[in-house]
Every structure is written in structure tokens, then in C-alpha cells.
Amino acid sequence: MTIMTDPPKGAFRLSMLLNDTRYRSLTLQVIAAIVLALAIFYLANNVVSNLTRLGLNINFAFLGAPAGYDINQRLIEYTSQSTNLRAAFVGILNTLLVAFLACIMATIFGVLAGVLRLSNNWLVSKLMAFYVEIFRNIPVLIWILIIFGIMTVVLPGPRAFRGEDAEASMFLGISAFTNRGVYLPGPEFSRIFGETGILSAGIGWLVALAVLVGSFFGARTVNKRATRIQEATGVRPATMLTNLAIWFLPIIAFFIITGLSFEIPELKGFNFKGGIKVGAPLIAIWFALSIYTGAFIAENVRAGIQAVSKGQTEAAGALGIRPGRIMSLIVLPQAMRVIIPPLISQYLNITKNSSLAILVGYADVTATLGGITLNQTGRAIECIVLLMLFYLIISLSISAVVNVYNNTIKLKER
Amino acid sequence: MAEQAKMQVSDEVAISIQNMNKWYGTFHVLRDIDLTVQRGERIVICGPSGSGKSTLIRCINALEEHQKGSIEVDGTLLSSDLKNIDKIRSEVGMCFQHFNLFPHLSILENLTLAPIWVRKTPKKEAEELAMHYLEKVKIPDQANKYPGQLSGGQQQRVAIARSLCMQPRIMLFDEPTSALDPEMIKEVLDTMIELAEEGMTMLCDTHEMGFARQVANRVIFMDEGQIVEQNEPEEFFNNPQSPRTQLFLSQILGH
Amino acid sequence: MSDVSANAVGFVRTETVPQSAPPSNAAGPAKWVKDNLFAGVGNSILTILAFIAIYLILAKIMPWILNGVWDAPTLSACREVLDGATGGCFAVISERWNQLLFGFKYPSDLYWRPALAFAMLFLAAAPVLFFDLPRKLLVFTGLYPFIAFWLIWGGPVYYPIMALVGFVVAFKVFERLEKQNFALALGAGVLGAAIVWYLGTMIGPDDAARKAGSLFAAGLEPVPSRDLGGFMLNMMLGVTCVSLSLPLGIALALGRQSSMPFIKYICVIFIEFIRGVPLITLLFVASVMLSYFFPPGTGVDLFIRVVIMITLFSAAYIAEVIRGGLAALPKGQYEAADSLGLNYAQATRLIILPQALKISIPGIVNIAVGLFKDTTLVSVISMFDIVGMIRGPILASTDWNGVYWELFSFAAVLFFVVCYGISQYSQWLERRLATDHR
Ligand SMILES: Nc1ncnc2c1ncn2[C@@H]1O[C@H](COP(=O)(O)OP(=O)(O)OP(=O)(O)O)[C@@H](O)[C@H]1O
Ligand SMILES: [Mg+2]
């Protein structure tokens, strides 16, 4: 149906390939395909002849060989005898860890700064504007180095904690802030199924998470019931106390039953042992990414809130809705629609910028796979291709989420 | 009418549409359109909203593709051949409801653009031509302004002049006055009447029934993608045949 | 522009009228302070917290700046001068400013050349940034790349002249033929330039000098591109890559909007690929992988490889901005161009792009600022831009080992001045475009 059913009379001429709307686009695409194929062939040919000239080949077997280097900050078991693949995997987890932490903290910074910038307090709003401009206009790389510098120069080394009259002392006696990192009390469960330790700490945390998820659904049920009652009778029952109880009682009970205790870090030899160690590089990159991206998020938040026009607020006010409720019922839900897509793209930026961790020696995937492994094995093409593949997968997944979100929003708006 | 006698209609065929059909996906917009327009004829198309008037007009200069039947303009068959499409577009001028002037170009540049680039007219000649038509639509003093600085009526007259600069033999108008305030409608209609008096072949989709009575020598009524009725204006307005036409006219003229 | 109904009448207010100021008897500084700083308990607490924050920051920074030492040969000398007091050793900046700005290898007696190129940059950029300036100035903008290239790299003047001649020939051929057929004109133009350059390299500066006078062999002392460094390198990468990525970005944006699926998806894949990976991985490509893609034996300079990768990177982002501009154009513009008989190339070049680009300028400027900041990443692949200079030669030198804050503050200030300046320009432009009748 899309093509005219009565074509012009006369035989096919070659010039019709370009001059006839039916063939023109196909012709151009075929030409483009040929040009592209030639270009790819040319480049591939160059690669092959370069590699043969240098006696190299493409081979991913190095991934199975022992990596031969240590990684300080790691989430899973790893020794220098582990494979390169495992090193890459440690790096991937580290990338995800720092990206995740930075996303949360950047959101907090950004939302705070964005809302405060709209505050009618002149000084606070100017201060926030200053924060945004300073951080947006200086490269994140410089921020990472500056914050890493603050960590290493300003904080005391572990040895400062030694001796009777030490220069530094542990914060509240339980955590140590040193230039090698921050040592925090490490929680552990002493009493899961007695002292047998059937459940390791990791599983204990999973159970704790499950308890929290249960609380979430419990609280939701209570709130829904309250809404139903409000719709039926016009009076909303008080849910505050019930909610608090649902959120806190189960998890506290769980901790008591399992006997949650904390391992306090101790200074042993030249360094602290025990507890949780958050290395200085992780903190530097985490904090730098958060505060830098927070400045951008602040702008998004501000724009989002301002986009919800004043008319909306006034209309709601005219309906007699209380100001506090106006923010939560009218302004924020609408602002969220404007804020969330750029917010997610900022999360994407955080993930990509976390690759700068290599500068301060944080072992993210760029530093392990794209750094040490690449340099030690000399497998440049393989490492870089894998590295790009990893980031691509992350980015595409995040854009898929954005698309789904945008589509649901569109559906609701119709 | 006395005026109409002046406007000669020749036997030469300007547009010939035969058995033309168009679909948007599965939606059948135009059904079996048969229409022959003589050179010098002035045709007004009317009909309810969504009846396919715009689509018909836009098919004639290939802004929309038709799927069945034939359209022939000045003896050139509108086929998938780009040369034919270019030829037809250079002979057919078109005015849009929203003028569609190029906001980043001055009025003079709007007018000379197509002659320079399509007709390859030297710049100086193109500018003389442009000034000629600007005088014709009575706004030569606005030549160096930008479209955003003009009123709607002036913009639409510039749009007409822009089409005329290509010296078309046929002009298509798609609701040229419906985006205008009442006081501006007249100046545009006056321009169109003047054009008609000079013998331009015109196809006009409009709700201006006064204009139809005064200028048209045929009024076409479309509904649901079909030409329901066509007649001379006098007959069409005073003695409509089809009940659908009667209903439409009673609605549009009734109050 | 797109709001035609607003054009139909002479004047339509598109925004609500801002609230006007209160009558003057209700104003006055005391009232201002009360309204803006101490309205309510929460507000007052915020104000106090803000004052505390400001005090803490200033208390740390002010002595450091005010007490700074600007004149000392080494860090230890500087510490002696300070004698235990807080204060910055800004002496490192006054001693090493040349390295920070030009890198440590650029011959010091030739600093005037990049400095001159930098000064001329403003002249070249002016007509691009401010539409009101006479269009004739664009001629200088066109000449600028060749002049700047010659000033910074030196070598016989023959090469930039040859390159320029090639471009001029291409442009003339294109101009001649473009009304006939855009593709033909483009092809002929490229061919013309290629012939000129081929002949040009065949002849070479010495032959040309023998035949046509010694002028062609005359030149400036050449500087190899690995000797470029410091903030100059950041500026060069930023300016070059943004300029080169504009045409590429436009082509990608048009390709992505194309009705031809093959071309569209090629562009989509390219754009999404580039936007999906961090710039640093692309820089790794430039430093260790890209040379494999060139024919064996052509040792392409690291600087050029980096320029290629950063250009591809920023082109993908610019393409997305321009796509937004293209999408914002009303359909009527395309239809009007079609109905006048303009073909795709003409409609795009004369009607669509000028408007779409104008809408996209603020977005493009934002990309440019981001890109300029990102040029610091080249320090990771051991190029000595300003950050590379600080982290490498300067911090490693025995004289200044340990001067951390002063150096990074200096770099931060340089970037802040440039980026803040550009973003202020962008905001000014946005306001202007909003009220522009064109
Ligand atoms: N691009 C399109 N895709 C799908 N349907 C379309 C498209 N353009 C128009 N239509 C449909 O085709 C029908 C005819 O549209 P057309 O614009 O020709 O009507 P019209 O007679 O000009 O109406 P009006 O007086 O409102 O301008 C309408 O029902 C419209 O919804
Ligand atoms: Mg219509």
C-alpha cells in the first residue's frame, strides 16, 4: 500500500536508482554500506598487518593466568595468585561500589543544595549558588586530587595513634581517621544458630535486609489501609506510631536475637586491624564525585522545582490545601518528573567518572583491567575492548531504565 | 457576477486527478478523488474538519504521497520520479495556514531564496522580482524586517509573495486565513482576489464563504475523504443537492 | 519562532509578569535583613549556620592566602620565610608559571608565539560569539587555525600556506558548483583540496623556495608536538576538538534524524557507543590502540591521536544537542522548503541548520565547557597538561616536593575563570536569543 500501485510506464533505467523516490533511499544506503564496509576493511587490514608485523595476536587466554598483583580494597576474596579475570571482577565490584555510594551521596548534596538555593534566606541561597558555580566550573579531576590531598595531608598517619600520649586519638574510641583510610567498627553476628556460625556475616546481613523489606511492605499496607479509611470516612487515622513500630521493632529484635556486636579496629604494628577499612582512595573518589556531581544535581533540582509553575502552587492554595501538603502533593510529584531523567544521567556520569579512580590508586575496573593487567600482559586491545564493553553494558542498562521511566510517565500524562 | 466574467477560464487542463486514493496506515483519508481543474479556474474546497481537504491539497505538490490513482499537473505526471516532483513543485505555489515563513531570514531573503537556489536566478534579478511582488502585496517597506516583526496578515501576504516569486502557474491555499484575526483576514483575501483577477489558477481550502461566492467559479464539498458535491457558487450555496452539504451549509451559514 | 499563533498578533506576553517591588516605605535595610535572613526560627538557624560555615572556610583560607609567600626559590626557603606561620607558598607559581602554562619542554625564548596565538584566539572567536560584529571579521576566524598552527608548531610557512590554499580551492570549487548539486560540489571540493595538497607535498618547501622565492622556506623554529604542555595544551585540545567536532556532530545529528534506517542506525550506534564509555577509555585507545589502525609505518603523533579521540567523543555529545535543536523546529519549516522546491541539501543548509544550530548554541557551549574540563584527563595517559605538569615534573622536583594546594588552586582558578566566563556568556546568549525576533 505504501508504494504507488500504478508505476510510471516505461522500462527501468539506471538513472532511476538516484532519481526515483522508490529506489533513491535504498541506493544511498547501499552506497553508505559499501563505504562503511571499505572503511572497516581498511582499518581491520591495518590492524592485522600491524599485529603481524609486531608478532602480536588477539587472545583472551591471559584472563585465566594469575594476575600477580595485590588489590587492597576488595569486596571478594582475592590474592595475587588469582586470575586476571578475577582481578577485573574485583575492579568491577569496586567500580559499582564507589558509583553506588557516590550516587547516594551526590543525590543528598544535590537535593539539599538545590532546595536551599531556592530558599528565601538570601545568605543560604547565595552560599549554595557559590557551591554550585565553584564545583561545576573546575574539572572533577582536580577535585579528586584536592580531596585526596586533604585526606592524606590533613589526616594523621596510623603511627600518630601510638604511644601513651599519642598525637591523634580514635574518634569516640571506636573509629580511626587516618591518612590511609577510615577504620570503622565492623558489625558481626555472634549468635546465629548458636555459636556454630552456620550463617556467616554476609548471610546475616541478607536476612537483615529481608527484615527491612518486610517492614517496608508492612508499612505500605498500613498506609494503604489508612488511605482507604480516609476515603471512606474522610478522617485519616494516625499512622505515625504504627509506622515507627513496623520499621524499627523487627530489625532491633533481629539484632538482639542474633547478638549483633561490633569489632573495634585496633592499632597493631604499623596499621589498624579489624573492623571495616574504607581506604583513603575510596573516600577521596567517593567524596569528590559526590560533591562535584551534587553541584550539577542541585541545578537539576532547582530547575525541576521552578518548572512546576507558580500557578500550580497557587491553584492548590486556592483549593485550601495546606502549604506543607502543597509541596508534597502538588509540587514534588510534578518536579520529580522533570528531575528524574537528568538525575539518572548524572548517575551515569558518576559511573563513568569513577574511572578516574585510577588517579588516586583506587582499584576500580579501569585501574585493574585497563591499568595493571593491561600493562603487565601488554594485551592492550583485549583489555580496552573488555573495559569498554563493561561500561557500555552499564550505560545501556541505565538508559533502558530511563526509557521505561519516560514511557510510564508519558502513559500517565495521556 | 460581473467580476467573474473578467476572469477567463481556458480549456487547457491544469490539474487532472483521477481515481486518487490515500491512506494513513489503515485509515483511508482520500477515496476515489476525481477532479479536473482548467487553467484559470478558481476552486474553493470546503467541508467539515478532518474531511481530507488539506491532505488533497498537499497531495497535489507531493507534500503527501498518494497510493492509488494519478495526479497530473500541467501535463506532468506526479510519479516517484524526483525530476517530475521538482518540476511540479516549481510550477505550484503553496500557502500554509501558519505561513511557515523562515524566521531567520529577512523578508527579502525569504522571497529571493527559492528563485536563487531553485531557479538559479542571479541575485540582483531575484531581488527585483521580490520587490515587484512585495509591492503587489502592498508591503514593499517591510523588505528588510524579519518575519517575527510583522503582523499575521502581513506575514501571510509575504508568504503569498514568496510563492509568487517562483512564478507558479497554480497556487494552492490551505486555510490561509484561519490563523488570522478578523481585521487581518480582509487584507489577505484582497490579495488573493487580486491574484484571481489576474487569472491565476487557484485551489483554495477555506471557510470564507464570502470569498467563495465572490471569486470561485466552482465550489467543492468534501466529506469523509470524498468529493460529495461540486457546483458553481451560486447553485452550491442556494441549492445544495446532497443532504450532507445542506447540513454543513446550515451549520456554517446558519448562525 | 515555533509559536506561530504568537506571531499572528503583534505582541503576546509569553511569561507571567514578575511581581513588582513593594512600595519604598516598606523597604529599607533593616526590613531586608529581617525578610531575607531572619524570617522565622528555621530561617534564622539557617542564617547562623551559614555564617558559621563561611567563618570556618574563611578562617582556614584567608591566612593562607594573605600570608602567602610569593618569592622564594624552593619550598624549604619558603617555609623558612613563613617560620611556622600558616601561609601558602605561592612562590612556586611565580617560579614555575612558565611550566604551568607552556609545559616544561617548550623553548622559553619562544613563549611569545603561543601567547600571541592565544591573544589572537579572542579576535578569531569574537565574530562567532557575538553576532552583531561585522561579518567580515569571519575571514580572520577562517585564517586563524593556520596562523595558530604555524605560531605554535613553527616550521616553514610553506605548510600552513599550502593547507590554506587547499581549503580555499575546495571552497571556491564548492561555491561554484553548489547551486547545481550539493553532493557533486562537495566531492569536487574535496578532490580539489586533495590535488593541491598532493602537489604541495610533492613539491615541498625547498623546491618551492627555489622556484618562487625564499619566502616559502622561511619559517619559525619548529617545536615538536610532544614538547607542548601546560595549560596551553588544555586550551589547544579544547579549542581544536570543539571546532573539529562541530561539523562531525552536525553530520551525526542529521544522520540520526535521517529517514534511511541504515544511516540512522549507524549514527545511533556510534553516538550511543561513545556516550556509553568514559572518556578515559577513549584516551587509552588513543595512547595504546589507535596506532594499530593506521597503515604500518605511519607513526601518528600522540597529540593527533588524542585530538582524534576527543573529537569523536565530543562530536557524539554535540550531535545529541543538535538533534534536540532539529526536533524543536516546527514541521512547517520543512514543508515550506519542500513546497518551494528546495532539495534536501538546500533545505538543510539554508533553512533547517541555521535555525537548529541557533537553538542548540547554549547546549553546545555547555558541552564545550565540559570538554575543556575533561582535557585534564590527558594527564592520565602521561601527557603533560597543567595537571600532568603539577603531578609530574613540579611535584616531583626536589625544590617543590610537597607544594600541593598552591599548585592545584592555581589550576583550579585558571579553569574556573575560563569555564565560568564561558557559562556566563552562554547565559547571556540564552537571554538574548529568547528576546531575539529572528
Ligand atoms: N500524518 C497523518 N497521519 C495520520 N493521520 C492523519 C495525518 N494527517 C492527517 N491525518 C488524518 O487525516 C484526516 C484528514 O486530515 P486533513 O488535515 O486533510 O483534514 P482537513 O479537512 O484539512 O481538516 P481541517 O479543516 O481541520 O484542517 C484527519 O482525520 C486527520 O486526523
Ligand atoms: Mg486542514
The reply to whether A275 falls in a domain is no
Write the pLDDT tens digit of every residue in B69-116.
999 998 889 988 888 898 999 889 999 999 999 999 999 999 999 999
Q: Which of B23, B77, B79 sits opposite A1 (nearest CB)?
A: B23
The verdict on residue A5 lying in a domain is no
In a domain, C45, yes or no: no
Of A1, A18, A21, the CB nearest to B80: A21
Condensed to tens digits (0 to 9), the pLDDT of residues A33-63 reads 999 999 999 999 999 998 888 888 888 888 8
The residues that bridge with B93 in the sheet, in sequence order, are: B171
Tell me which residue in B90, B102, B179 faces C333 most closely, judged by beta carbons. B102
What pairs with residue B38 in β-bridges?
B13
Nearest Cα of chain C lies from the Cα of B175 at a distance, in angstroms, of 14
Question: Tell me: the pLDDT tens digits for A75-86?
Answer: 777 888 888 888
Query: What is d(CA A33, CA A35) in angstroms, rounded to the nearest whole number?
Result: 5
pLDDT at C385 over 50: yes
Distance, CA of B159 to chain centre: 12
Instruction: Give how many domains chain C has, as a whole number.
Output: 1
**A115 falls in which pLDDT band (50, 70, 90)?**
confident
pLDDT at residue B2, as a whole number: 42
The DSSP secondary structure of C276-296, one letter per residue, reads HS-HHHHHHIIIIIGGGGSPT
pLDDT at B5: 43
By DSSP bridging, strand B170-174 and strand B201-205 are parallel
Let me know if residue C289 belongs to a domain: yes
From chain B, pick out residues whose CB is under 8 angstroms from the CB of C336: 96, 100-102
Query: Does A69 reside within a domain?
Result: yes
This prediction has a pTM of 0.87
Radius of gyration of chain B (CA): 18
Task: Let me know if residue C184 belongs to a domain.
Answer: no
Residue C36 lies in a domain: no
A15 and chain B: CB distance < 8 Å anywhere? no
Domain range spanning residue A411? 65-161+285-414
Determine, yes or no, domain membership for C43: no
Cα separation, A309 vs B191, whole angstroms: 43
DSSP B39: T
Residue A194: pLDDT above 50? no
Q: Point out the least confidently predicted range of A117-121, C186-190, C351-355.
A: A117-121
- CA nearest to A22 within chain B: B80
Q: How does residue A410 score in pLDDT terms, banded at 50, 70 and 90?
A: confident
Across C179-269, the runs of DSSP E, i.e. the strands, are 219-220
Q: Is the pLDDT of residue A134 over 60?
A: yes
The residue among A2, A3, A4 with the most chain B CBs within 10 A of its CB, best to mutate, is: A4
Q: Kindly report, residue by residue over B200-215, the tens digit of the pLDDT.
A: 999 999 988 888 988 8
Question: In whole angstroms, what is the distance from residue B114 CA to residue B126 CA?
Answer: 9
- Regarding the beta carbon of B50 and ligand 1, being less than 6 Å apart is answered yes
Minimum CA distance residue for ligand 1 atom 10 = B24
- For ligand 2, the distance from its centroid to the CA atom of residue C92, given in whole angstroms, is 73
Residues 337-366 of A with CB under 8 A from B: none
Does residue B49 have its Cβ closer than 6 Å to ligand 1? yes
Of A1, A4, A18, nearest to B80 by CB-CB distance is: A4
- Find the mean pLDDT for residues C338-343: 92
- Give chain C positions within 8 Å (CB) of A391: 276-278, 281
For residue A7, what is the DSSP state?
A: P
pLDDT at position A281: 87
Here the CATH number for the domain that contains residue A411 is 1.10.3720.10
CA B200 to mean position of chain CA atoms: 10
Residue B96 C-alpha to ligand 1 middle, in angstroms?
14
In this structure, the residue with its CA closest to atom 2 of ligand 1 is B24
Domain hosting residue C365, numbered range: 67-106+227-438
Q: Is residue C252 part of a domain?
A: yes
Instruction: For ligand 1, say whether the CB of B54 is within 6 Å of any of its atoms.
Output: yes
In this predicted structure, what is the pLDDT of residue C313?
A: 96
Ranked by mean pLDDT, the top range of A68-72, C175-179, C317-321, C383-387 is C317-321
Q: Do C276 and A119 touch (CB under 8 A)?
A: no
Residue C238: inside a domain: yes
Distance of CA A41 to the CA centre of its chain: 38
Q: Residue C342 domain-assigned?
A: yes
| Percentage of residues of chain B with pLDDT beyond 90 | 66
| Through-space distance between the first and last CA atoms of chain A, rounded to whole angstroms | 31
B77 near A CB under 8 A: yes
Checking if the pLDDT of A199 tops 50, the result is no
pLDDT confidence bin for B192, thresholds 50/70/90: very high
Among B26, B54, B223, name the best residue to mutate to test ligand 1's pocket (greatest count of ligand atoms within 8 A of Cβ).
B54
Q: pLDDT tens-digit profile of C233-277?
A: 999 999 999 999 999 999 999 999 998 999 999 999 999 999 999
Identify the bridge partners of residue B77 per DSSP, sorted by sequence position. Answer: B72
Inform me whether the pLDDT recorded for C3 exceeds 50: no
pLDDT score at A79: 80
Beta carbons of B104 and C354 less than 8 Å apart: yes
Tell whether the model's pLDDT for residue C420 goes beyond 90.
yes
**Chains with ≥3 CB–CB distances under 8 Å to A:** B, C
Q: How far does residue B222's CA lie from ligand 1's centre (Å)? A: 13
Is any Cβ of chain B less than 8 angstroms from the Cβ of C340? yes
Residue A394: the pLDDT is 92
Cα-to-centroid distance, B167 and ligand 1 (Å): 29
Position A316 in a domain: yes
Give the model's pLDDT for residue A244: 86
Write down the pLDDT at residue C5: 42
Q: Does C1 touch chain B (CB under 8 A)?
A: yes
- Please enumerate, as own/partner, the contacts of A85-88 that have beta carbons within 8 Å and a separation of 24 or more: A87/A368, A87/A369, A87/A372, A87/A373, A88/A63, A88/A365, A88/A368, A88/A369, A88/A373, A88/A386
Residues C60-113 have pLDDT tens digits of 888 888 888 888 888 888 888 888 777 888 888 888 888 899 988 888 888 899
Kindly give the distance from the C-alpha atom of residue B53 to the centroid of ligand 2, in angstroms, as a whole number.
6
Instruction: Classify residue A77: in a domain, yes or no.
Output: yes
Q: In the predicted model, what is the mean pLDDT of residues A107-131?
A: 89
Has residue C23 got a pLDDT over 60?
A: no
Residue where the block lists cell 602554562: C101
Mean pLDDT computed over A296-316:
80
| B68 and A CB contact within 8 Å | yes
For C158-210, write each residue's pLDDT tens digit: 888 888 999 999 999 998 888 878 888 899 999 999 998 888 888 777 776 66
Mean pLDDT on C24-49: 76
Of the ranges A88-97, C73-82, C143-152, C244-253, the best mean pLDDT one = C244-253
Burial A194-204 (b: 16+ CB within 10 A, else e): eeeeeeeeeeb
Is residue A22 within 8 Å of residue B79, measured between CB atoms? no
pLDDT at A195 over 50: no
B82 and A3 in contact by Cβ < 8 A?
Answer: no
Select from B65, B68, B81 the Cβ nearest to the Cβ of A5. Answer: B68
For residue A3, pLDDT beyond 60: no
Taking CA atoms only, the protein residue closest to ligand 1 atom 13 is: B50
Percent of chain C, pLDDT > 90? 41
- Which of A139, A311, A396 is closest, CB to CB, to C276? A396
> How many other CB atoms are found less than 10 A from the CB of residue A93?
18
Question: In this predicted structure, what is the pLDDT of residue B1?
Answer: 44
The distance of C211 to chain A (nearest Cα, Å) reads 38
Q: Give C406→chain B minimum CA distance, Å.
A: 49
The answer to whether the CB of B24 is under 6 A from ligand 1 is yes
The confidence band for C8, taking pLDDT boundaries of 50, 70 and 90, is very low
User: Is the CB of C288 inside 8 Å of chain A's CB atoms?
Assistant: yes
Query: Is the Cβ of A22 closer than 8 Å to some Cβ of chain B?
Result: yes
CATH number at residue C419: 1.10.3720.10
B51 Cβ below 6 A of ligand 1: yes
* pLDDT at site A12: 73
Chain B residue whose CA is closest to A20 = B81
Of C399 and B130, the structure prediction assigns the larger pLDDT to B130
Strands B201-205, A271-273: pairing is unpaired
pLDDT at residue number C14: 58
pLDDT of C254: 95
**For residue A146, is pLDDT > 50?**
yes
User: Residue C240 has what pLDDT?
Assistant: 93
**Which one is predicted more confidently, C43 or A212?**
A212
Q: On the CB side of B211, how many CA atoms lie within 13 Å of its CA?
A: 28
Cβ contact A8–B69 (<8 Å): no
Confidence of residue A157 (pLDDT cuts 50, 70, 90): confident
What pLDDT is attached to residue C9? 45
- Count the domains in chain A: 1
Q: Distance (Å, rounded) from C-alpha B129 to C-alpha B134?
A: 9
Q: With CB atoms and an 8 Å threshold, state whether A139 touches C415.
A: yes
**Between vectors from CA B140 to CA B136 and to CA B146, what angle results, nearest 5°?**
120
- Tell me the C-alpha to C-alpha distance, in Å, between residue C240 and each of B99, C304, C312, C317, C372: 41, 10, 12, 16, 10
